[in-house]
Structure 1
């Protein structure tokens, strides 16, 4: 494992992607920065983080034999790693919001962006970007329903120590992937899935609002929702949002 610390960069994912194209990287190479000017999240959204207060980093992982058809388990392994670390910090009402946001009650505490490189039917390598709100206590008005470790626990955290804890946990869960222990990850993920089996309002890509129950995740990583007529419908990441 190699950790590269930057004082500032536009995006740790972009920096690490460029680095991987121009050099041979050691597995589990980490790029971490105190200041990220153009952080990216899901749906091409921005990740806003106050400098020197939070963890913004990206991790390079190379796979030997990981099929694209099992890619949802990479989401599971990564999000469960963050969940496990925060659970040990006694963050209350912790859950994973599909596909891989970490929530404390109804407030987001961590975002994850995974970008893969493919060879044939396999994932060659992945760049996993993680933005974790740690010691920040005041957030811009444009950020709704967010929180941090410090807001939840009143503890000021050492960012380097927290980073090491997360990397170790990710490596442990990646071992489950490499060993094809998908059932373990599946079971743990569904146990802590946000709003699972809870009546919830959703909005689809046509801006139609409906109620349903999250029942699971399909083999191709789509969210399975039980509708009011008891049918199960599957939605991709750009096809549905929570109200």
Structure 2
């Protein structure tokens, strides 16, 4: 499985498939210390037993039904203050990849979840290694719900199969084909970032940001309030207009109310 390398320059040209593992991010972290591990190395599994997401949440998926993998990057061109640009590039790559199959109602929920309507289809966990003021390594963990049809532990989750049912005759999507397609798009956006196309990435990110420009309810410090998302600043903080004043939140400081 996963024997055919994608048509990329480096992303996915080296791939390690594990039928089962505790966490692809942890396996990738071990590989970083090996000199023979090139940038773009992918670690993928059919069953992740201790996957994790943002806020320390666990990530549960049905074995063999979804895409669960990590990519090793060396974004030494990014400073510590530019870390969120990598989140933007990765989120946009996944969004563009899925848009081929779901041309409508797909969005990026800040900071880096993938939503279809108001249901979560996937998530990203990026773990950076920093030396001085720059990033030396990044492990990009990606979990995408593809063929799974039941989400008892995550009632607000969905999958590509469920979302595309009205206009797809596929019994099940071929995970190997989808991974190859995704890695091609991933490399495209990573190279845009490396080539300094940050303004374009920011504009595209906001254009596809979940609830951007809409009034909705949030919770911060146990208090619920109504506000409007107006942007994301250079530090990756969500900017919300509340009572005619701009407020800034890191991802652990605020939650959406559904």
TM-score normalised according to structure 2 size: 0.91
- Per-residue CA deviation, residues 60-117 of structure 1 (Å, 9 max, x unaligned), is 0112422122111101100000000110112531000000000000000011000001
SS at match of 2:33: helix
1:18 shift after superposition: 1.4
Q: Which residue of 2 aligns with 1:190?
A: 206
In structure 1, how many angstroms separate the alpha carbons of the residues matched to 2:146 and 2:103? 12
Structure 1 runs (4+) deviating above 3 angstroms are none
Are residues 1:10 and 2:22 paired? yes
1:164/1:171 CA distance change after superposition, 3 Å: same
SS at match of 2:150: coil
Gaps of 5+ in 2: 1-12
1:148 shift after superposition: 0.3
Alignment coverage as a number of residue pairs: 240
1:23/1:9 CA distance change after superposition, 3 Å: farther
In structure 2, how many angstroms separate the alpha carbons of the residues matched to 1:177 and 1:235? 24
In structure 2, how many angstroms separate the alpha carbons of the residues matched to 1:138 and 1:144? 9
Q: Which residue of 2 aligns with 1:90?
A: 102
1:23 shift after superposition: 4.2
Are residues 1:71 and 2:87 paired? no
SS at match of 1:114: strand
Please provide the CA RMSD for this pair: 1.0
- The 5 Å alignment of 1:218-233 reads 218-227=233-242, 229-233=243-247
Gaps of 5+ in 1: none
Q: Which residue of 1 aligns with 2:255?
A: 241
In structure 2, how many angstroms separate the alpha carbons of the residues matched to 1:217 and 1:63? 21
- Per-residue CA deviation, residues 22-44 of structure 1 (Å, 9 max, x unaligned), is 44411100000001000010011
- Per-residue CA deviation, residues 133-158 of structure 1 (Å, 9 max, x unaligned), is 00001112x21211001001133211
SS at match of 2:44: strand
SS at match of 1:143: coil
Contact 1:91 1:153 in 2 (8 A): no
In structure 2, how many angstroms separate the alpha carbons of the residues matched to 1:99 and 1:207? 20
- Aligned counterpart in structure 1 of residue 180 of structure 2, from 155, 161, 164: 164
Are residues 1:144 and 2:155 paired? yes
Contact 1:85 1:166 in 2 (8 A): yes
- Per-residue CA deviation, residues 147-200 of structure 1 (Å, 9 max, x unaligned), is 001001133211011111111111111111111110010000000100111111
In structure 2, how many angstroms separate the alpha carbons of the residues matched to 1:92 and 1:45? 28
- Aligned counterpart in structure 2 of residue 111 of structure 1, from 123, 126, 147: 123
Contact 1:12 1:129 in 2 (8 A): yes
SS at match of 1:19: helix
